[in-house]
Amino acid sequence: MSDGTSNDTGYDAGPVAALRRIAFLLERAREDTYKVKAFRGAASAILPLGEAEVARAVDEGTLVDLPGVGASSAKVIAAAVRGEVPERLASLEAQHAGPLTDGGADLRAALRGDLHSHSDWSDGGSPIEEMAMTAIELGHDYLVLTDHSPRLKVARGLSAERLARQLGVVDAVNEHLGSDVGSGFTLLKGIEVDILDDGSLDQTDDLLARLDVRVASVHSKLKMDAAPMTRRMIGAIRNPRTNVLGHCTGRLVTGNRGTRGQSSFDARAVFEACAEHDVAVEINSRPERRDPPSDLLALARDAGCVFSIDSDAHAPGQLDFLVLGCERAEEAGIEADRIVNTWSRERLMEWANP
């Protein structure tokens, strides 16, 4: 819903935009999910309503009678309808809208998209459409949707049947965005596919062949001995369907999930295999991952690897994490053309599907 309200207070973005911006900033700051859902839920609740109906609810004090609108979101809606900057929005802009890093801006400007993101089809927090709309607002030319594969049940990994259904949804979202937004943006079909114990990939080859980009990651038995872990990872890298090696060490360095040490493997052998098979090493931009560590990032650089700087976003606001990976890539001296998501969609697709 668009709101054309404009008066001497200067706020004319409308209540839906205010609610979405609040949710974005909360996600960017990695605040609790329940807080985010309150504002995104309220935005969804009033989106189908006409401006007059929302304004009438404000005048009558009945906003909280609408399903999905609580006391906090009602205050935001009322202020936005009056053309005022909502107090909650102003506070979050002051706290969380500033730069996430001191560096990385030049490389971030060169990125054309993001190859690793999750929706509420697996363990993400928002619908596919919301992820796509936020990617457009951030200036992306493309976003790859990479929900999890079946083995990762804790993350509601997609069975073959669910993934096949999702591909139809992606087509519908692209059709809607092409006609409704005219942005030139494309939501690409992808997966974050588990690397199984023997190095095989956790999805049928027929379905993997229907995707645009495939990120392969280890999510289980992270403490496997170095020799079998190395064989496992190289097995996945050699699979012609694999495009990106995701968060290669599996480490966690901070955050509410606790910390976790990095997996043991022969990094030189793994990165040489990536270079040989033209598989990108992911620079995972999540603050709790910072994966690969700096010494391994330098090793992959010297091995001749290409890279993908990815947000691994599980919510729309986390799509803005890319600059964190960009700062690390710049510090490591990695040239922009070695980063596959600086490439045009056409070049990316030719690389991913030779």
Q: In this predicted structure, what is the pLDDT of residue 177?
A: 84
Cα–Cα distance for residue pair 314/118, rounded to 1 Å: 5
Say which residues have a Cβ less than 8 Å from residue 149's Cβ, sequence separation at least 6.
157, 158, 163, 191, 192, 193, 194, 201, 202, 203
Cα–Cα distance for residue pair 200/171, rounded to 1 Å: 28
For the chain, the straight-line distance linking the first and the last C-alpha, in angstroms and rounded, comes to 42
Say which residues have a Cβ less than 8 Å from residue 331's Cβ, sequence separation at least 6.
103, 294
Q: In this predicted structure, what is the pLDDT of residue 1?
A: 30
Q: In this predicted structure, what is the pLDDT of residue 257?
A: 79
**Residue ranges of E strands in the chain:** 113-114, 142-145, 186-194, 213-217, 244-245, 280-284, 307-310
**Which residues are paired to 283 by β-bridges?**
309
Q: In this predicted structure, what is the pLDDT of residue 7?
A: 38
pTM for the whole thing? 0.92
Per-residue pLDDT of the chain (354 residues; tens, 9 = 90+): 333 333 344 678 899 999 999 999 999 998 888 889 999 999 999 999 989 999 999 999 999 999 999 999 999 999 999 999 999 999 999 999 999 999 999 999 999 999 999 999 999 989 999 999 999 999 999 999 999 999 998 889 999 999 999 999 999 999 988 745 446 899 999 999 999 999 999 999 999 999 999 999 999 999 999 999 999 999 999 999 999 999 999 999 987 778 999 999 999 999 999 999 999 999 999 999 999 999 999 999 999 999 999 999 999 999 999 999 999 999 999 999 999 999 999 999 999 999
Q: In this predicted structure, what is the pLDDT of residue 260?
A: 96
The model's pLDDT over 250-266, given as tens digits with 9 standing for 90+, comes to: 999 987 778 999 999 99
> In this structure, what DSSP letter does residue 272 have?
H
Q: In this predicted structure, what is the pLDDT of residue 296?
A: 98
Cα–Cα distance for residue pair 159/152, rounded to 1 Å: 10
Q: In this predicted structure, what is the pLDDT of residue 10?
A: 61
Nearest CA among 351, 319, 305, 338 for reference residue 142: 319
Cα–Cα distance for residue pair 49/226, rounded to 1 Å: 57
> What domains can be seen in the chain, in order of their start residue?
15-96 (1.10.150), 105-352 (3.20.20.140)
Q: In this predicted structure, what is the pLDDT of residue 34?
A: 82
**Which residues are paired to 244 by β-bridges?**
215, 280
Cβ atoms within 10 Å of 256's Cβ, excluding its own? 7
Cα–Cα distance for residue pair 189/241, rounded to 1 Å: 13
Cα–Cα distance for residue pair 353/285, rounded to 1 Å: 25
Cα–Cα distance for residue pair 87/91, rounded to 1 Å: 6
